[in-house]
Chains A and B, each alone.
Chain A
Amino acid sequence: MRSSSTGLVLGLFAALSLPCLTRAQKSDRTGEVNATAKSVPGADLTGVWTQFPRIGGRSAGEGGFVFSKEEPPMTPWAEAKFKATKAPHTGGYIGDSDDTTLQCYPPGVPRIYLFNFPMEIFVVPGRVLIVHEFGHYIRQIWTDGRPHPKDPNPSWMGDSIGKWEGDTLVVDTIGFNDKTWLDQVGHPHSEALHLIERIHRTAPDMLQIDFTFDDPKAFTRQWTGIKQFKLRSDWQISEYVCEENFSNKEIQEISK
Chain B
Amino acid sequence: MAERITQPSSNAKPSPCGWSRMGRTVVSVWLIIHLTAVLVPPFSLQSTSPISPSPVADSLMRALRPYIDLLFLNHGYAFFAPDPGPSHLLRAKMEFDDGRQPLVLMFPDLKREQPRLLYHRHFMLSEQLHSQFVPPEPPEAIARQPAALESWQHGRLMYDLKWKSFENHLRSTYGASQVTLTRIEHRMIDVYEVEELHRRLDDRETYFNLSENAPGEELP
Whether both chains belong to one complex is answered with no
Q: Which residues of A contact B (CB under 8 A)?
A: none
Q: Which residues of B contact A (CB under 8 A)?
A: none
